[in-house]
Structure 1
Amino acid sequence: MADDAINKLEKEILLEKAFKGYAKFGVANSNGNQITLSNIDKWLKEAAIVNGKKVSTTDTAILFQRFKAKTIDFRQFLQFIEGLAKESKLNQDDIMNKLAKCAVPGTSRATQADKSNIVQRLTDTSKYTGSHKERFDAKGKGKGKSGREDRAENSGYVQGYKEKNTYDAKKK
């Protein structure tokens, strides 16, 4: 009996940790205490509970409407899971186990930036030529708009004139 209680406590801790992770996922200003229906659906799909056959997102939406809120907290979520188990005739402990085993969502499996020699050569701004060379400063930092457009000088001389500002010296 003592092992069962510890196991149930561990399961609830894992479930609450996953709850906070899914509550924060995709919601910029979330602190993880409230979860939306769409995040619950993501979690249930990840745990292979929502499969479109026995349990669908329509079923979860109907259950979620009973709370009359856009978000629910962890205690309400446990009530949600209890209701889902009753409605779909699934074992509540099986649902809880599957949800607790799900990894917290994030970008841990995201594509990493390539750091090969080819990419380094292509992105080395000191080797750029022509007009592209003008877009970066000596350190390789982009100049922004000033590096992309030609500005008129309004000095009275045409572009490329080599004897600029020498007229007064010749006249004397």
Structure 2
Amino acid sequence: MKAFRRFAIHGDTRATGKEMHGKNWSKLCKDCGVIDGKSITLTDVDIVFSKVKKKSARNITYDEFKTALAELARKKYKDKTGEEAEAEVFKLIEGKAPVIAGVTDTSKFTGSHKERFDPTGRGKGKAGREDIVDTSGYVSGYKHRGTKLKESTKE
């Protein structure tokens, strides 16, 4: 299943996509609408994850993932048979990917982060990250710009 792989590698550069961490399991359930806040909560999702994984493991495999979804499906759709409930939950997850819109939408940025991007959302580079100081003044680091000597010879 593509959704399993997409969520398994989300946020982890070393992930192979064959096993999913608990954080990504929770994100999958939230982003795909499995958690509804009534029949299934975040706590239920965490309990099911702990139940299906091996005792010493921190991740679940694809087979354990299917088992966990089946368990959540029975809880979410109590009025349907086991297979119908599983099919409904698989429909919710099918083809989905992690939601990252809030991270990449620069119009929602505030404060100094807003200054790092132009109106199109493209980064300004170093100019957006640093205050470039004009060192042409008379005091600190004066570099003889428009020196007094040249000004006095004009008179």
TM-score by length of 1: 0.54
CA distance in 1, matches of 2:133, 2:63: 63
Equivalent residue number for residue 156 of structure 1: none
1:54 paired to 2:39 = yes
User: Post-superposition shift, 1:87?
Assistant: 3.4
Residue 70 (structure 1) shift: 1.2
Aligned counterpart in structure 1 of residue 64 of structure 2, from 76, 80, 92? 76
RMSD after superposition: 3.4
Q: Aligned pair count?
A: 114
Distance 2:5 2:69 in 1: 16
Q: Give, in whole Å, the separation in 2 of the partners of 1:96 and 1:39.
A: 17
Q: Any stretches of 5+ residues in structure 1 without a counterpart?
A: 1-15, 133-149, 151-158, 161-172
Instruction: State yes or no: 1:18 paired with 2:3.
Output: yes
For 1:47 and 1:106, how far apart are their aligned partners in 2? 9
Determine if the alignment matches structure 1 residue 131 to structure 2 residue 135.
Answer: yes
What is the deviation of 1:65?
Answer: 1.4
Alpha-carbon offset, residue 22 of structure 1: 0.6
Partner of 2:16: 31
Any stretches of 5+ residues in structure 2 without a counterpart? 107-116, 145-155
- 1:24 to partner: Cα distance: 0.9
Letter in 2 for 1:105: P
Identity %: 22
SS in 2 for 1:72: strand
Hey, what's the Cα distance between the residues in 2 that align with 1:60 and 1:50?
8
Q: Distance in 2 between the 1:72 and 1:131 partners? A: 58
Distance in 1 of aligned mates of 2:95 and 2:133: 54
Distance 1:18 1:65 in 2: 20
Q: Greater Rg, structure 1 or structure 2?
A: 1
Q: What corresponds to 1:45 in structure 2?
A: 30
Q: For the structure 1 residues 62 and 31, does the alpha-carbon distance in structure 2 shift closer, same or farther, using more than 3 Å as the test?
A: same
